Amino acid sequence: MSTSEKTPPPLPLLPVRTIPGSYGLPVWGPFVDRLNYFWFEGAETFFRKRMEKNKSSVFRTNIPPTFPFFTSINPNIIAVLDVKSFAHLFDMELVEKKDVLAGDYLPSLSLTGDIRTCIYLDTTETRHAQLKNYILDILKRSRSIWVPTLTTNLDTMWDSIDSDISKSKSGEAFDVPLKKFLFSFLTRTLTGADSSKSPELSEKGYTWLERWLLIQLVPTIKLGLCQPFEEIFLHSFVYPSFLVNGGYKKVAEFIQKEGSQVLNRGVTEFGLSEEDALHNLMFVVGFNAFGGLLAFFPTLLNILGNDKVLQDKLRKEVRDTCKADSLSFGLVMQLDLVNSVVYEALRLNPPVPLQFGRARKDFTLSSHDSAFEVKKGEVLCGYQPLVMRDGKVFDDPEKFVADRFTKGNELLSYVFWSNGSQTESASANNKQCPAKDIVPITAALFVAHLFQRYDSFTVDSSGSKITSLEKATHV
């Protein structure tokens, strides 16, 4: 074979451009951007408008939280909004991930026992590898109880919705049964603790976790409440942790007692201190898993609940393949359309919309058509809902195409909801979500279980209520 046959042709060099956009006047620029981001435009329009104005998917802008009370936070970022520039965030040679989960904003450490949890650690910190391996091990070991625990808890959830819906004319809100289900399912599978042993925890555990989660995120998310109330009272301060620490402590004490086996493994097998294992486990359950799935399952219910034709196809696939058999990972992996729908839902509605990374060194960042010089210390910020609609990668990118991922794996490498490609693996050397495989399969199990149990269902226009549930007539 000749040399020219072996070596691929060199890629054409991209033109180097100055990064467009600006941070505006000190204080005023970030303040105006904050109002636009939260109030006048919302995140999606905010990024979309600036991408159009700058004629570039890479540009400079500010992101809240900002002035007046978040004075020590630097809101300056470089937005990366296409698949190619966004992927630099996964390159641990180029970006540092220390304390950058929500940009330059860091919630109070007193919310997590004064411990920096795994998600805030960079891959160069020794504790990152210890903790990531610990969490990967927890997920691996929980596989044997994952499916039966899921289906048992889902049955409880749907029983509760069934009984409420029969009494109500306008439909039944599914958020409380869903939160109870997630709390019980996740504490059992991830910590080994059975929350039904504590009536108080079974009843209130999810509200304690939810408040603790919200207090960490509130300065960074649009809640859609009345303005200027939201700007003045919810986006201007860090709320003190004492407001939520009581509930957090009760859940932590319960896990310490009932999840002692899992915690001890953190100490004996992964070299963690007891405190480190406990607060990280709490964070994984309450923030990563509960927070992530609580954002994703309602999205999935809404997509399906408004599409009868899709429901018919999914029901047929589930019934033909799974029949009335007990669900298993193996069975659900055969459900091509169900899995594709889950990936398409994750593509269009990534539950964690923003990802950040700080440049470790000066480097050249490329988009599809240009190259840009990034300086050490600058913060890159990707807004995934736009990145996942990159028309250079996805045909008809704005449209929900249920079978988009049924035709082989190639497109899956561009699905980034887990802070990495869906075809890569999470490890101690990267910052990809360790639940990158278990989340889509859990969602597929959720859908399969739904269509084993029901023929069809509808969700109302608010997206929060189930208005009808038709029990399966023939399985």
**Could you tell me the smallest distance in angstroms from the CB atom of residue 42 to ligand HEM?**
20
Among 63, 218, 387, 433, binds ligand HEM (CB under 6 A): 433
| Residue 282 is a binding residue for ligand HEM (CB under 6 A) | no
385 contact partners, CB below 8 Å, separation of at least 6: 43, 44, 348, 349, 350, 353
Residues in the chain: 475
CA distance 274 to 263: 7
| Residue 97 is a binding residue for ligand HEM (CB under 6 A) | yes
CA distance 245 to 116: 16
**Could you tell me the smallest distance in angstroms from the CB atom of residue 32 to ligand HEM?**
26
| Residue 288 is a binding residue for ligand HEM (CB under 6 A) | yes
Q: Strand 354-359: give its sheet, edge to edge.
A: 58-62, 76-80, 379-383, 354-359, 95-96
| Residue 182 is a binding residue for ligand HEM (CB under 6 A) | no
Q: Binding segment for ligand HEM among 206-214, 217-225, 390-398, 429-437 (CB under 6 A)? A: 429-437
| Residue 262 is a binding residue for ligand HEM (CB under 6 A) | no
| Residue 293 is a binding residue for ligand HEM (CB under 6 A) | yes
Strands 371-374 and 58-62: unpaired
- Exposure b/e, 107-124, CB count within 10 A at least 16 = b: beeebbbebbbbbbbbbe
DSSP state of 230: I
Select 311 or 442, whichever has its Cβ closest to ligand HEM. 442
| Residue 342 is a binding residue for ligand HEM (CB under 6 A) | no
DSSP 131-161: HHHHHHHHHHHHHHHHHHHHHHHHHHHHHHH
**Could you tell me the smallest distance in angstroms from the CB atom of residue 474 to ligand HEM?**
32
| Residue 359 is a binding residue for ligand HEM (CB under 6 A) | no
| Residue 289 is a binding residue for ligand HEM (CB under 6 A) | yes
Q: If DSSP codes are grouped into helix, strand and coil, which group holds residue 374?
A: strand
Q: Binding segment for ligand HEM among 227-235, 283-291, 300-308, 444-452 (CB under 6 A)? A: 283-291
Q: If DSSP codes are grouped into helix, strand and coil, which group holds residue 124?
A: coil
Tell me if 433 is assigned to a ligand binding site: yes
Q: How many helices (H) and strands (E) does the chain have?
A: 17, 11
Select 132 or 465, whichever has its Cβ closest to ligand HEM. 132
CA distance 90 to 92: 6
| Residue 475 is a binding residue for ligand HEM (CB under 6 A) | no
Query: Binding pattern to ligand HEM, positions 131-150, x when CB under 6 A?
Result: -x--x---x-----------
Nearest residue to ligand HEM, by Cβ distance, number only: 292
| Residue 444 is a binding residue for ligand HEM (CB under 6 A) | no
| Residue 431 is a binding residue for ligand HEM (CB under 6 A) | yes
Among 410, 414, 75, 126, CA closest to 276 = 126
Select 300 or 327, whichever has its Cβ closest to ligand HEM. 300
Footprint of ligand HEM on this chain (CB under 6 A)?
97, 101, 118-119, 132, 135, 139, 284, 288-289, 292-293, 296, 351-352, 355, 417-419, 431, 433-435, 439
